[in-house]
Copies of this chain bind each other. A is one copy, B any other.
Amino acid sequence: MFTGMAATAAPQRVPEERLEAALADLRALLGDERVATGADERRQHGTDESWHPPAAPDAVVMPRSTEETAEIVRVCARHGVPIIPFGAGTSLEGHVAALRGGVSVDMREMDAVLRLSVEDLDVTVQAGVTRQALEAKLRPEGVFFPVDPGADATLGGMAATGASGTTSVRYGTMRENVLSLTVVTASGEVVRTRSRARKSSAGYDLTRLFVGSEGTLGLITELTLRVQPTPEAMSAAVCAFPALGNAVDCVIGVLQLGIPVARMELLDDVQMDAVNRFAGMDHAVAPTLFLEFHGSPASVQEQAEEVEAIAAEHGAEGFAWAADETERRGLWRARHRSYEACLALRPGARAFATDACVPISRLTECIVETRRDIDETGLLAPIVGHVGDGNFHVSVLLDPDDEAEVARAVAFNERLVRRAIALGGTCSGEHGVGYGKAKFLELEHGPVVLELMRALKAAFDPQDLFNPGKIFTLTANGPGPI
């Protein structure tokens, strides 16, 4: 573990007697076998895919219904015990770490697709349904859910972190694709944030407030999502550029013409090398765009030809088409496994994943400067980006036991965040804040916005029981872990 980053002063945990009373009530509610307190179970639920130190909860429960979830929250609220929602554990900023202990509420048994309306192009699911399980359910119906963060996250987790991914340039993020949420509030009541109507101006947009709130304002148990008709035709292409700036300029040109490209992913030369090695491909080791087009056959053809022409204007070296569906899927599998590909570059290493997002006009500058910084710092770190959104990821490959290397990576990450903010961007495009980036929030937003966010948190969760220490640093209960 990255001990260099661990807590210097332990945040206040729940007193033992309160915790025991809560666990007794939970056992009465769910039965002994559904309140897990084994070390493995607890450790697993306090650990995500990030490089941040995990923190095990005191117990793990797995509700089977919204009502059961509400009862769990009421028990925890009565005893003042923190509640940490858990989906698939794929978050990247320490979102599931139980910094003050408490109860991890694992939603994976709530995995039912409750209703699908192809007519209304919406679907209602329980929070524990995973992205791939939903995809399998929707495919035969001729519709799909477009938000694709790569990992097989739960939909509840994706809403909680405000996830996005490769298709957001065309279809939007979770914020644009969640119609309505069922949420358990801090007082253990169940609310539905809005109706299924496509549009509403009936009061504050609580839906968008819970999306991206990382479990700090309420616990999401059900979601109604917009779905899209499966495109009649899909086509993919790969295109290498002499320099990063050419690739970004090509994307800007595509966006300015309003060509509705479904995916535009940028991989830098280090990442392309990793993908080639991992997936046994032989693409040029150069800044490369992976592209995908959706639409009617004629429209896909037209889009691709237009993009090929724009790419040529920006010095593209070839424009390789995925010949068929198998090749298209292979291409995106390679892109989606870029994380594993990175790990394979340095066996035994762990990846320290971070992301940032800037206005696209500043993207070249931000990535070029970041690459220079990585190389000067002597780190191994591929870059991959959802370039149409101005969003990019850096995976730093580390020996977690090498304290000096970890310290270099931490310092690099801080410079990356400051660089993105200075260029008019954000410290996180899609990974969220968790506790890994909580300390950067005031730098990005200023003290008054932070004050509004804290007021909002206090209004919704006055006891600070919902995922304490996330988004905001742990101040009320002692110094935070960073």
Contact = CB atoms under 8 A, between A and B. Distances in A.
A428 B117 contact: no
A453 B455 CA distance: 13
A212 B448 CA distance: 21
7 contacts: A162-B201, A185-B452, A191-B445, A192-B445, A199-B357, A200-B426, A203-B471
Interface string A317-332: 0000000000000000
Contact of A458 (B168, B302, B459): B459
- Which residue of A208, A296, A357, A452 has the most chain B CB atoms within 10 A of its CB atom? A452
Interface stretch (A33-41, A51-59, A251-259, A376-384): A251-259
B456 A198 contact: no
Contact of A191 (B198, B298, B449): B449
Interface in A84-117: 117
Given A195-B444, A459-B458, A428 B360 contact: no
A113 B427 CA distance: 28
Contacts of A190: 448
A456 B208 CA distance: 14
A358 B256 CA distance: 34
A459 B358 CA distance: 31
B191 A448 contact: yes
Residues of A in contact with B, size category: 35 or more
When all copies of this chain in the complex are counted, the total is: 2
A80 interface: no
A217 B195 CA distance: 23
A446 B185 CA distance: 14
A164 interface: yes
A213 interface: yes
A195 B198 CA distance: 27
Interface string A295-321: 110110010001000000000000000
A444 to B, nearest CB: 6
B455 A459 contact: yes
A426 B191 contact: no
Contacts of A441: 202-203
A69 B138 CA distance: 50
A202 B256 contact: no
A209 interface: yes
A162 B358 CA distance: 26
A430 interface: yes
